[in-house]
Amino acid sequence: MRAAVNGNKGLFITLEGGDGAGKTTQINNIERFFEEKGLVVLRSREPGGTSISEKLRQILLDRENGSMEAVTEMLIYAAARAQLVRELIVPALDEGKIVICDRFVDSSIAYQAYGRGLGSIVREVNETATGGLRPDITFWMDIDPQAGRTRASKAGELDRLELEAMDFHYRVYEGYKRIAQSEADRVKRIDASLPIEDIRAEIYSYLEELCEAKGL
């Protein structure tokens, strides 16, 4: 499968971060950025994005499934991702579209490898699930987990993952920090506590650089 910034077709952009980080607002801005350039944009989310993946999403986030085992959770996320990659993302990239996805493999690394303590097996399973597909760029919306929980609570009822104890969310946060440190060429840390327009401007500057490198 396609690797990051290879070839001359589409772009694969992902946004990551804990609950309440403001990903949706910035996805809207990124979509507008590319549409103003006359490019075709496809938006998706994880888990979800296809009929099968959305059904798996319901299982994963259902508050009644509190007894779900960590390995079960990891495998369901990977299954939903495998369907999304093959059914939607890769065909769109092959057509030269801009694909923007709310979460991808980094979420599983943060939530299952670090949050659940499953370690390196999470990355190995997801290599198979994605065929090695990598985003061209990832924006990590960095927000303190407690502040994010407060934001998410105001937005509506919390799902199964959002209801986890704060020590879980701080392990997830540490996972994101380590991913950003080890893959700084791909993962761009964005301070999610900044004003929305400041965040938009910073993201746009990275996108302009990426477009210049891709000749868009």
**C-alpha–C-alpha distance, residues 167 and 105, integer Å:** 21
Looking at the predicted structure, is the pLDDT value of residue 7 above 70? no
User: Is position 6 within any domain?
Assistant: no
| Per-residue pLDDT, 3 | 42
Number of folded domains in the chain? 1
User: Is position 98 within any domain?
Assistant: yes
Domain with 28, as residue range(s), is: 21-214
Per the CB < 8 A criterion, the answer to whether 45 and 101 are in contact is yes
Residue showing tokens 């960590």: 70
User: Is position 1 within any domain?
Assistant: no
Per the CB < 8 A criterion, the answer to whether 93 and 10 are in contact is yes
User: Is position 179 within any domain?
Assistant: yes
The per-residue pLDDT for range 61-108, each reduced to its tens digit, is 999 999 999 999 999 999 999 999 999 999 999 999 999 999 999 999
**C-alpha–C-alpha distance, residues 126 and 134, integer Å:** 11
Cα 99 to Cα 14, 24, 38, 93, 134, distances in angstroms: 8, 14, 14, 7, 12
User: Is position 119 within any domain?
Assistant: yes
- For the chain, the first-to-last Cα distance in angstroms comes to 22
What pTM did the predictor assign? 0.92
User: Is position 87 within any domain?
Assistant: yes
The secondary structure element, H or E, covering residue 187 is: strand 187-191
Domain of 108: which CATH number? 3.40.50.300
The per-residue pLDDT for range 195-210, each reduced to its tens digit, is 999 999 999 999 999 9
Looking at the predicted structure, is the pLDDT value of residue 6 above 60? no
Beta-carbon contacts of 50 under 8 Å, excluding residues fewer than 6 positions away, are 83, 84, 87, 88
H helices of the chain, where? 23-35, 51-61, 70-84, 90-94, 105-108, 121-130, 145-155, 166-182, 196-214
**C-alpha–C-alpha distance, residues 67 and 85, integer Å:** 28
The per-residue pLDDT for range 105-135, each reduced to its tens digit, is 999 999 999 999 999 999 999 999 999 999 9
The per-residue pLDDT for range 149-204, each reduced to its tens digit, is 888 777 777 888 888 899 999 999 999 999 999 999 999 999 999 999 999 999 99
